[in-house]
Amino acid sequence: MNRVIFHLTFLSAAALNAAPLPADHAERMIRGLALFQKGVRPLLTEHCLNCHGGKKTKGDFDLATREGLLKGGKESVGVVPFDVKASGLLKLVRHEVEPNMPDDKPKLPDEAIAKITEWIENGAPYDKPLIEGKKPARDRSVVTAEDKQWWAFQPLAKVTPPAGMAHPVDAFLSASATKKGLKFAPASAPRVLVRRVYLDLIGLPPTPEEVERFVEASASNPQSALAALVDELLARPQHGERWARHWLDVARFAESSGFEHDYDRQGAFHYRDFVIKALNSDMPFDQFVRWQIAGDEYEPGDMLAMSATGFLGAGVFPTQITANEVERTRYDAMDDMLSTTASAFLGLTVGCARCHDHKYDPIPTRDYYRMLSTFTTTVRSVLDLQTETTDTPEGKKPAGPKTKVLVCAEGHAPLRMHTQGADFFPETHILKRGSADMKEDVATQSFLQVLMPAADAEKQWQWSPPNGVKYSGRRRSLTNWLTDVERGAGALTARVIVNRLWQHHFGTGILATPNDFGRTGALPTQPELLDFLAGELIRGGWKLRPIHRLIMTSAAYAQNSAPDHAKESADPANATFTRRIPQRLEGEAIRDSILAVSGALDERMFGNGTKDERSKRRSIYFTMKRSQLIGSMVAFDQPEPLVSQGLRPTTTVAPQALMLMNGPQVREWADAFATRIGKGEPSAQITRAYALALGRAPTSEEMSDALAFVAAQTKSYEAEKMAPGLALMDFCQVLFGLNEFSYVF
């Protein structure tokens, strides 16, 4: 009797909901156990086990244990105790549905099917697994207390910097390095450091005059000079242009729909402009989160808040949808919104739970669909919005001229192309195996259980909008949870963004997988430092600039990049950050640097972009059309904007060198660079070129080589009766191709 009661406690929630326990269930389970021992066990072992839990597990149906039998597989529920009609196993063995079971043998005799039927009617108990010692697979639909112990799901640790160093970043790193017998490398020379800071913060090299000013200031007080320079560059408008590009990768931003038609999206560039403006105003990061998901619910009359919602609508979406594809496509669109939101702000692969409970992280399918319902009625729209607002006693009112803006909101006319049928459906269902043809319950909004104090705690974040508005309030509710540090996901949100900042300053994050803080991602190499930085972000009102400043004024940041084979051996992954690893610039920064050094850079900000590679504006203003990406950017590893990209690869391939050697635009800018250098003695021209391109004077050997090169090229051009001035242009182009130009040391 005890064994029977034990097995009864393992009925799944789905099974119990579908078939309430009969009053005589205990007696029936005893009868069922006898049936199992005498006849059903041999039948299942002989005809089913090999394919379903033995040698293999077809269709994810494992009946070696009772838990697996009740759960079922891809096609249906396996068995519902006491309910023959709801038990998918019987339909399969009766050959009422496909795939028939067994699939490689004749149908079971009627007598055998009758035994299985009677056994199910009596609760389908097991006395023990069909395979001795086999334990049931973990039920990943249940989030346990143990799941919440994963480091990323924990509250921020209350840490204080170790004693010994004044700067908190250095204190944490030094304490870690000392355990390995390591210490920081010496500081970089001022000329190297100033170039690093400029390229990190604004993506452009310093002018010779700016280099000299920093070198002079560093001579008396290096720390003060560095802090002042960081503050100055953080306040420049070019900072937003530089760091917006990093975020646009995360946001999978593009200005076209993708797929075969790849139609342009009118007004999509306003989202790019929002990101630049937000970073330049040092918008608190929690507001940055809120506006991108629900700007229209926070500030419905503010164009900047409305354009921020372009984050949700930036993904791919087909523009030719037949009537029978509408519902599937709608779930795809919502999945893109949810998956990108989770990757960007939480560093979690929530989208993996669309078809099954997440295999590694505690994200059940039910959690996925309840979060997905946030976007049930969210659609892309193009609105005529006024570009400015004015403050009035009644609040902000629209002002200024109107412009077309792509938003992703509720209550507006959806953006339609060749779509047949509905634009959205009033309810989101929990889908079996992610198929819109297999609907289960209607999903009501909630969030990830692993980041809530209780499974039913969602009401504390849910917000009810005022009467008469166009939006549901669900997206604002989601942002309340995302930014709640005490009880919601705010601690993880803070960890993810400070890790992204660290990554772009050091080349790798404290956690090396910026979009995956789950069990398949890396572990943080400096967990206490990560939590300290996240805490500082929150304590500072979620402002990013103080975190930039904190990181960049550390001795760790200022280290030189000279090779150190002993350190490379003791700490090959540089987990202690006690050496500086040179970083190759992204394609955008290389191109922008060439334009800046040549004097050709057009500094106009914002507005419509272009697909013309001859443009002289910064590379962030290239139009991101998915089927016509900019070739020079792709050559230097710009990712396809299909899904959130937290980390770009860095390749070294022939097209990069060929572009710098033969690209017509590079040649044109080399000409402008030569003109900027001006006339004069070749040695003076070479010195000026080095100062503009690399921030330093040439060495004696470099001067000798450069003079010889220019002289040889001049002679060659004169022999061909071509302009001898082309020789200086050639030399300028050589500087563009140097590693020192394209790398941050």
Delimit the domains of the chain by residue range.
2-121, 284-482, 587-643, 660-744
Of the two residues 315 and 99, the one the predictor is more confident about is: 315
Identify the band that residue 104 occupies on the pLDDT scale cut at 50, 70 and 90.
Answer: confident
482-505 pLDDT, tens digit per residue, is: 999 999 999 999 999 999 999 999
Exposed / middle / buried, residue 692 (Cβ in 10 Å: 0-12, 13-18, 19+): buried
**What confidence tier does 468 reach under pLDDT thresholds 50, 70, 90?**
very high
Q: What is the mean pLDDT of residues 237-248?
A: 98
Residues 6+ apart with CB under 8 A from 160: none
pLDDT of residue 146: 94
Neighbours of 614 (CB within 10 A): 8
Residue with the larger pLDDT of the pair 398 and 645? 645
Angle between helices 545-552 and 168-178 (to 10 degrees): 50
Tokens 């579908």 found at: 18
pLDDT at position 479 is 98
Residue 397 pLDDT level (bands cut at 50, 70, 90)? confident
Average pLDDT, the chain: 93
* Predicted local confidence at residue 139, as pLDDT: 78
Provide the residue type at 606 as one letter: F
Q: Are 692 and 597 in contact (CB under 8 A)?
A: yes
Given a cut of 50, whether residue 4 has pLDDT beyond it is no
CA end-to-end distance (rounded Å), the chain? 73
pLDDT at position 388 is: 82
Whether 7 shows a pLDDT value over 70: the answer reads no
**pLDDT of 88 over the 90 cut:** no
What pLDDT sits at residue 97?
A: 83
Share of the chain above pLDDT 70, in %: 97
Average pLDDT over residues 251-262: 96
> Which of 720, 721, 719, 717 minimizes the C-alpha distance to 674?
717
Q: Would you state the torsion angle of the CA atoms of residues 475, 478, 479, 484, taken in this order, to the nearest 10 degrees?
A: 160
Please give the pLDDT value at position 3: 41
Q: Which residue has the higher pLDDT, 397 or 94?
A: 94
Other beta carbons less than 10 A from residue 135's beta carbon: 10
pLDDT of residue 739: 96
Confidence of residue 8 (pLDDT cuts 50, 70, 90): very low
Give the pLDDT band of residue 416 (cuts 50, 70, 90): confident
Give the mean pLDDT of 451-463: 96
Average pLDDT of 535-543? 98
User: At 596, is the secondary structure helix, strand, or coil?
Assistant: helix
pLDDT of the residue at 189: 98
**pLDDT for position 19:** 52
In this structure, what DSSP letter does residue 581 have? P
What pLDDT score does 96 carry?
87
The Cα 86–Cα 81 span in angstroms is: 9
Q: Which of 43-52, 295-304, 405-414, 703-712 has the lowest mean pLDDT?
A: 43-52
Stretch 288-316: mean pLDDT, rounded? 97
Q: What is the pLDDT of residues 695-729, one digit of tens each?
A: 999 999 999 999 999 999 999 999 999 998 899 99
Question: Which of 53-57, 596-600, 707-711 is least confident?
Answer: 53-57
In the block, residue with structure tokens 């891809």 = 74
Residue by residue, what is the 3-state secondary structure of 262-287?
CCECCCCHHHHHHHHHHHHCCCCHHH
Q: Which residue has the tokens 């010195």?
A: 687
Q: How far apart are CA 534 and CA 541, in angstroms?
A: 11
Q: How confident is the model at residue 75 (pLDDT cuts 50, 70, 90)?
A: low
pLDDT tens-place string over residues 201-216: 999 999 999 999 999 9
CB atoms within 10 A of CB 218: 20
Pairing outcome for strands 395-409 and 379-392: antiparallel
DSSP class of 621: G
**Alpha-carbon gap, residue 359 to 12, rounded angstroms:** 19
Q: What does the pLDDT look like over 637-673, one tens digit per residue? A: 999 999 999 999 999 999 999 999 999 999 999 999 9
| Of the candidates 200, 199, 54, 273, the residue with the CA atom closest to the CA atom of residue 741 | 199
Mean local confidence (pLDDT), 516-537: 98
Using the predicted structure, report yes or no on whether residue 1 has a pLDDT greater than 80. no
Q: Please tell me the least confidently modeled range out of 283-292, 418-427, 597-606.
A: 418-427
* Percent of the chain whose predicted confidence (pLDDT) is above 90: 83
The pLDDT of residue 585 is above 70:
yes
Confidence of residue 9 (pLDDT cuts 50, 70, 90): very low
Q: Is 379 helix (H, G, I), strand (E, B) or coil?
A: strand
pLDDT of residue 17 exceeding 80, the answer is: no
What is the distance between the alpha carbons of residues 278 and 283, in angstroms, rounded to a whole number? 5
pLDDT tier at 121, thresholds 50, 70, 90: very high
Give the CA angle between residues 272, 276, 278 to the nearest 5°. Answer: 110
